[in-house]
C-alpha cells in the first residue's frame, strides 16, 4: 500500500516534469539550471547538517561553523524576442521525502490540501518576491544568471513560531527572586501554590521557587524574534523548482504564490507554490523547470559535545550553545506510590530465582514495606555523560550500596533539536532486563520520540477531538501539542487480556515466564477517531509480509500499540540498531544488528491512527515501569528488589535521515 503511494507520488512528479518542463518559450529560452553549482553536479548531493549554534538559530542548510552560508545556483537565459527585455525569476525548494502528494489526481488538476503543510521555501531575505535579471538584448547569446539561497527554519515566517531571543540561557537568581516577590504578592497565585505543594508533597517555599522558575522561562518565550528552530528543516531529499517569467506577466501570479510568507486572504492559509507552478493554473507565459539535481540532508549527532543540564543549572557557554544532547528528567508523580519489598539485590548477577521472587512476595509484613515512588536524579550530570573509552553516551540507573539507600531511579538522555518526520537511527546497547532464571529486574528500556514543549508546537487538529494526555482533563479538544512515538522493551506477554479479544473463550495466551522480551511499538494519537479504521481491542494488519496486531484498550485510550516477541539475547546486552521511520502517512519500526540487516517489528498508517505532524525530540530512557502498565507480566514492580549495583546502557550512534 505504502510502496504504491510512493510510486504514485514519484510518477506525479515525473509527469509534471514531462508536461511542464519545457525550457523554451516563444520569447525566451532557458538551459543548464543547476541549483547547487557550488557542489559537484551529481544527481543527488549529500549534505550533513551542522548543528553548531542551531539551538539559537535553528538548522540552516548550509552553514559554516554555525554561521549562515548560501548555496550558489545558476541557469542560462536567452532573449528570443524582438526587443530588449528584463526577466524575473525565482527558485523554490521542497522536501519530498516527507511530504504529502501535491495532487489527488493523475492529471495535476486537483490540489491536495495537505500539501500546504509540506516543508517548502525560497529566498529568506526581506525581498521575498521574484528577482530580476539584467536587460537582455534580442538574439544575443545565452547569458548566465547566478544567485544564492539557503534552506532554513520557518521559511514562511509564521508568527506562531516567533518569541524570545533565546530561551535556553540559564535563569538567574535575580530573575527568580523578582518572580518570587510577584507570586507572594498575588493571593490567587499563592492559593494555587498551596494546593500544588500539597499535591506534590513539597514545602510551600519549594513550590514558590519552582513556579518562579517556570514564570521566568515563560516570559522569555515572549518576543518578536523569528525562532526558526521551532520549525526546523526536515531531513531527507529536497528538489528545486525554477520559475522564469516576463515582467508583464508577473502581475497575473497571485502574491501568495510569489511570496511564500503571504497567506491566501480568502482561505487564510498558506499555499504550496509547487501546486500552482506545476498544476492546471500555472502561468502560461512562464518557464517552469524542476532540476535533476537534488540534495539529500541528514543529521549526524556528535556525542562528545557535552550534555546540557537544563535552564535551571549553570552550563558553560560551550555546552549551552553547542551541546546536542540534554539530560532527560521524567515527570515525578509523588501521588503514584507503591509498597516495595525492603531488599537490595543484583538480580542479573546473582541466582535470583522465580521461587525466591515468590518467597519474598510474602516474606514481609505491610509495615515493613517501603512506601515509595519512582525517582529522578538529584545530582544532574552524574547518571548520564560521555564515555571517552567507548566513544559513547552512557545512562546509568544508580545502585543502592549505602545502608540507607532505597531508590528506583529513572534515567534518560534526549536530543536538543526538534524535527518533524524523518528516519531516526540509533546504535544502542541497552542492558539485559531478565536473568538466567527469567526474573525481571524491573527495568524498561526505551527509544522514543516526544513532542517539543511549547504552545507553538501544535499538531494538526482532530475533527472528532483529542483526549488530553492528562486523564484529569476529560473534555475532548480539537488541538493538542502532545505527540509521542515509542519503542519500549518490556517483560510481559506477547498477547493481551481476554477482554481485548471480545471476551472469546479461545483467546490466545502464553506463559510469559521465559527468556523472551517484548519490543512494543506505540503511537500516541490521543484517541482521535478520525482515521477510518480506528479500533479498540485487537485488529490485525499486514505489512512487509508480516502480520501485526494493533491494540487499544478502549475508545478513550490515548495510544495504539503492537508487540513483537524476541529472545532477549538477540536484543539486549549487545549493540543493536533501532529505527523509527516517521512519515506523514505511516510509521515503521525496525531493529537489527547492522544498518544493512534491519527487520520490521511494527507498522501503522493513517487509516488506523492519526500520525503526528508537530516537532519532536529523540529520547533514550531506562525506566522502572509500574507493572499495571503492562498487564499479563509475571512480575510486580513492588516485589522486585531495589538494584544493588548500577545498570548502564550506551548510545554509540544517532542519526536522522
pLDDT digits (tens, 9 = 90+) for 36-87: 987 766 789 999 999 998 998 999 999 988 788 899 999 999 999 999 999 9
pLDDT tens digits, one per residue of 506-521: 999 999 999 999 999 9
Distance between CA atoms of 413 and 380, rounded to whole angstroms? 11
* Residue among 283, 281, 289 nearest 243 (CA): 289
Averaged over 181-195, what is the pLDDT?
89
Confidence of residue 474 (pLDDT cuts 50, 70, 90): low
pLDDT in the model for residue 127: 59
User: Residue 210 pLDDT > 90, yes or no?
Assistant: no
pLDDT in the model for residue 3: 45
pLDDT in the model for residue 315: 84
Provide the percentage of residues in the chain whose pLDDT is more than 70. Answer: 94
pLDDT in the model for residue 38: 76
Confidence of residue 2 (pLDDT cuts 50, 70, 90): very low
Q: Which residue has the higher pLDDT, 6 or 143?
A: 143
pLDDT in the model for residue 7: 38
Distance between CA atoms of 364 and 342, rounded to whole angstroms? 8
Confidence of residue 268 (pLDDT cuts 50, 70, 90): very high
If one counts every other C-beta atom within 10 angstroms of the C-beta of residue 593, the result is 14
- Kindly state the DSSP code that residue 319 receives in the 8-state scheme: H
Helix axis angle, 187-200 relative to 173-184, nearest 10°?
110
**Cis ω before 62 (30° cut-off from 0):** yes
pLDDT in the model for residue 11: 40
600 touches 2 (CB < 8 A) = no
123 touches 68 (CB < 8 A) = no
User: Residue 310 pLDDT > 90, yes or no?
Assistant: no
Provide the percentage of residues in the chain whose pLDDT is more than 90. Answer: 73
Averaged over 538-544, what is the pLDDT?
95
User: Residue 404 pLDDT > 60, yes or no?
Assistant: yes
Among 124-133, 240-249, 253-262, the minimum mean pLDDT is found in 124-133
State which H helix or E strand residue 194 sits in.
helix 187-200
User: Residue 115 pLDDT > 80, yes or no?
Assistant: yes
pLDDT in the model for residue 166: 66
pLDDT tens digits, one per residue of 631-652: 899 999 999 999 999 999 999 9
Cell of 94: 521542497
**Mean per-residue pLDDT of the chain:** 91
User: Residue 595 pLDDT > 80, yes or no?
Assistant: yes
Averaged over 489-517, what is the pLDDT?
93
pLDDT in the model for residue 67: 83
End-to-end CA distance of the chain: 22
Q: Which residue has the higher pLDDT, 281 or 49?
A: 49
If one counts every other C-beta atom within 10 angstroms of the C-beta of residue 76, the result is 16
Among 73-77, 236-240, 282-286, the minimum mean pLDDT is found in 282-286
User: Residue 99 pLDDT > 80, yes or no?
Assistant: yes
User: Residue 459 pLDDT > 70, yes or no?
Assistant: yes
Residues 6+ positions from 365 with CB-CB distance below 8 Å: none
Confidence of residue 172 (pLDDT cuts 50, 70, 90): confident
If one counts every other C-beta atom within 10 angstroms of the C-beta of residue 110, the result is 14
User: Residue 6 pLDDT > 50, yes or no?
Assistant: no
User: Residue 478 pLDDT > 90, yes or no?
Assistant: yes
559 touches 608 (CB < 8 A) = no
Averaged over 490-513, what is the pLDDT?
92
Distance between CA atoms of 425 and 121, rounded to whole angstroms? 27
pLDDT tens digits, one per residue of 19-37: 443 355 678 999 999 999 8
Averaged over 411-418, what is the pLDDT?
98
Distance between CA atoms of 16 and 570, rounded to whole angstroms? 47
pLDDT in the model for residue 16: 42
Amino acid at each position: 500500500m505504502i510502496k504504491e503511494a510512493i510510486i504514485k507520488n514519484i510518477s506525479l512528479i515525473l509527469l509534471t516534469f514531462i508536461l511542464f518542463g519545457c525550457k523554451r518559450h516563444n520569447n525566451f529560452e532557458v538551459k543548464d539550471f543547476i541549483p547547487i553549482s557550488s557542489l559537484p553536479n551529481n544527481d543527488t548531493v549529500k549534505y550533513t547538517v551542522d548543528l553548531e549554534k542551531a539551538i539559537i538559530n535553528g538548522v540552516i542548510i548550509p552553514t559554516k561553523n554555525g554561521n549562515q552560508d548560501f548555496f550558489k545556483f545558476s541557469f542560462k537565459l536567452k532573449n528570443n524576442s524582438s526587443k530588449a527585455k528584463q526577466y524575473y525569476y525565482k527558485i523554490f525548494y521542497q522536501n519530498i521525502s516527507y511530504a504529502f502528494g501535491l495532487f489527488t489526481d493523475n492529471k495535476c488538476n486537483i490540489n491536495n490540501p495537505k500539501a500546504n503543510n509540506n516543508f517548502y521555501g525560497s529566498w529568506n531575505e526581506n525581498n521575498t518576491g521574484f528577482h530580476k535579471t539584467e536587460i537582455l538584448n534580442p538574439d544575443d547569446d545565452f547569458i548566465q544568471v547566478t544567485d544564492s539561497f539557503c534552506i532554513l527554519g520557518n521559511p514562511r515566517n509564521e508568527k506562531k513560531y516567533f518569541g524570545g531571543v533565546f530561551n535556553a540561557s540559564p535563569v538567574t537568581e535575580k530573575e527568580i527572586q523578582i518572580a518570587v516577590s510577584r507570586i507572594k504578592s498575588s493571593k490567587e497565585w499563592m492559593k494555587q501554590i498551596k494546593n500544588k505543594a500539597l499535591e506534590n508533597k513539597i514545602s510551600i517555599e519549594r513550590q514558590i521557587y519552582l513556579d518562579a522558575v517556570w514564570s521566568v522561562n515563560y516570559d522569555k518565550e515572549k518576543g518578536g524574534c523569528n525562532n526558526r528552530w521551532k520549525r526546523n528543516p526536515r531531513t531527507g531529499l529536497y528538489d528545486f523548482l525554477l520559475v522564469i517569467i516576463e515582467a508583464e506577466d508577473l502581475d497575473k501570479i497571485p502574491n501568495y504564490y510569489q511570496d511564500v510568507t503571504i497567506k491566501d486572504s480568502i482561505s487564510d492559509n498558506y499555499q504550496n507554490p509547487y501546486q500552482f507552478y506545476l498544476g492546471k493554473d500555472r502561468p502560461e507565459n512562464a518557464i517552469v523547470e524542476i532540476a535533476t539535481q537534488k540534495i539529500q540532508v541528514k543529521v549526524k549527532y556528535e556525542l562528545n559535545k557535552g550534555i546540557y543540564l537544563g535552564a535551571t543549572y549553570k552550563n558553560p557557554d560551550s555546552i549551552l550553545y553547542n551541546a546536542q544532547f540534554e539530560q532527560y528528567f521524567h515527570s515525578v508523580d509523588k501521588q503514584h506510590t507503591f509498597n516495595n519489598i525492603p531488599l537490595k539485590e543484583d538480580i542479573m548477577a546473582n541466582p535470583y530465582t522465580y521461587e525466591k521472587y515468590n518467597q519474598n512476595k510474602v516474606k514481609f509484613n505491610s509495615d515493613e514495606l517501603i512506601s515509595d515512588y519512582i525517582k529522578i536524579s538529584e545530582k544532574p550530570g552524574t547518571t548520564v555523560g560521555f564515555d571517552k573509552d567507548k566513544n559513547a553516551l552512557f545512562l546509568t540507573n544508580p545502585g543502592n550500596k549505602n545502608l540507607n539507600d532505597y531508590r528506583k531511579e529513572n534515567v534518560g538522555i534526549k536530543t536538543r533539536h526538534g524535527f518533524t518526520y524523518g528516519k531516526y537511527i540509533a546504535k544502542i546497547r541497552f542492558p539485559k532486563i531478565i536473568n538466567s532464571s527469567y526474573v525481571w529486574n524491573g527495568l524498561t528500556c526505551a527509544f522514543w520520540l516526544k513532542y517539543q514543549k511549547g504552545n507553538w508546537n501544535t499538531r494538526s487538529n482532530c475533527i472528532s477531538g483529542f483526549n488530553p494526555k492528562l486523564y484529569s482533563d476529560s473534555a475532548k479538544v480539537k488541538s493538542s501539542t502532545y505527540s509521542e512515538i515509542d519503542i519500549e522493551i518490556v517483560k510481559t506477554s506477547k498477547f493481551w487480556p481476554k477482554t481485548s479479544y471480545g471476551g472469546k473463550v479461545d483467546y490466545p495466551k502464553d506463559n510469559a515466564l521465559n527468556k523472551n522480551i517484548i519490543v512494543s511499538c506505540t503511537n500516541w494519537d490521543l484517541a482521535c477517531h478520525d482515521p477510518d479504521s480506528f479500533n479498540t481491542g485487537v485488529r490485525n494488519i499486514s505489512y512487509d509480509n508480516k502480520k501485526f496486531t494493533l491494540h487499544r484498550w478502549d475508545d478513550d485510550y490515548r495510544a495504539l500499540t503492537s508487540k513483537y516477541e524476541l529472545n532477549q539475547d538477540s536484543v539486549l546486552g549487545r549493540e543493536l540498531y533501532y529505527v523509527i521511520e516517521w512519515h506523514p502517512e505511516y510509521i515503521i519500526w525496525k531493529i537489527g544488528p547492522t544498518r544493512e540487516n534491519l527487520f520490521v517489528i511494527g507498522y501503522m498508517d493513517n487509516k488506523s491512527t492519526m500520525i503526528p505532524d508537530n516537532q519532536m525530540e529523540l529520547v533514550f530512557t531506562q525506566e522502572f515501569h509500574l507493572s499495571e502498565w503492562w498487564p499479563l507480566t509475571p512480575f510486580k514492580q513492588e516485589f522486585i528488589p531495589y538494584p544493588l549495583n548500577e545498570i548502564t546502557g550506551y548510545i554509540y550512534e544517532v542519526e536522522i535521515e
